[in-house]
Amino acid sequence: MTTVEAPKYKKAEFVSDQDVRWCPGCGDYAILSAVQQVFAGLGVPKEKFVCVSGIGCAARFPYYMDTFGFHTIHGRAPAIATGIKTARPELDVWVFGGDGDALSIGGNHLIHAARRNLDLKMVMFNNRIYGLTKGQYSPTSEKNKKTPSTPMGSVDNPFNPIALVLGAGASFVARTVDTQISHMRAVLEAAHRHKGFALVEILQNCVIFNDKAFSHITDKGIRDDRQIDLRHGEPMIFGKDLDKGLRILPDKIEVCSPAEASNWVADGPTGANAFRICQYAESGDIPVPVGIFRSVETPVFETEVHAQMTKSIATLGVGTLADVLASGETWQVK
């Protein structure tokens, strides 16, 4: 039996010939570079990749990737990707979009892609603002946020993307940061290894309309104390000197000594602790979680669809669409 060697690429082979048209300093540049690096190292034939996007700054992604791709309509990228992956399960399908595209007009498509558990990888750039349309508040903008569309401050309670997709039954849920390149690459690689729907939220800075939105979490001087990296099977330890831990109790999660720290479990059947830890206030004692919240193996949508089709053909025989339309209780109108 001949073993087919996995193809080897360089990052440059995934760089398209299009000029990148994001604002100078935008976090999208770092995400683009990380994705190109990750794709080059996955061992997937280049022609198998498909990048799908909706509308927004992040949605320019397919132009900048030298892969197959679709720049679709606002919020509908998961629906288009669902069709691609169902029709061509062998393709490596990735969806790219911002928090507005994915959670506002596209919220319905996101939750259904998650609950169906298609083998899609969805990368959500969360900058808590609408950038392309000049700074309106988005579904993740914090309460009291003043923007051109909320001049007196938003009265909305923002979406928590992690809690939302956990509630929708997503089998892989993770978070990373645009400025933490090694961590971002590791999370994207883990998402790719997962067989099923994977949501990666990236905290991304918009230098023009929402600069420093995550500085209280991501600034180098404080991030070790304000973030905790969730790693399956490892103790929940954080701090610049790794001198603090988190302990999961039945009624709360609390800061403790490293020796008392609970081990993080990402493959629990319900994702209950992931749902708990993602909802603490960003300014409280509990650090903001990044890393992998949930990773469980469940049946994959397109696999089951094709198994159903195979069984149907074996039972009913091969037919045409016209045969299907004319079968059962049908009649002609003359």
Domain assignment of residue 204, yes or no: yes
Token pair belonging to 276: 């708990």
Token pair belonging to 303: 């696999």
Domain assignment of residue 128, yes or no: yes
Distances (CA, A) of 89 to 30, 180, 298: 29, 32, 16
Domain assignment of residue 295, yes or no: no
Confidence band for 272, pLDDT divided at 50, 70 and 90: very high
Domain assignment of residue 223, yes or no: no
Which of 77, 102, 208 lies closest to 162, judged by CA?
A: 102
* Distance from C-alpha of 83 to C-alpha of 283, rounded to nearest angstrom: 41
Domain assignment of residue 277, yes or no: no
Domain assignment of residue 220, yes or no: no
* pTM recorded for the entire structure: 0.92
Domain assignment of residue 245, yes or no: no
Domain assignment of residue 189, yes or no: yes
Total number of domains in the chain: 1
CATH of the domain at 88: 3.40.50.970
Domain that includes residue 44, residue range: 11-213
End-to-end CA distance of the chain: 61
What are the pLDDT digits (tens) for 40-80? 999 999 999 999 999 999 999 999 999 999 999 999 999 99
What are the pLDDT digits (tens) for 297-329? 999 999 999 888 887 766 766 666 677 667 777
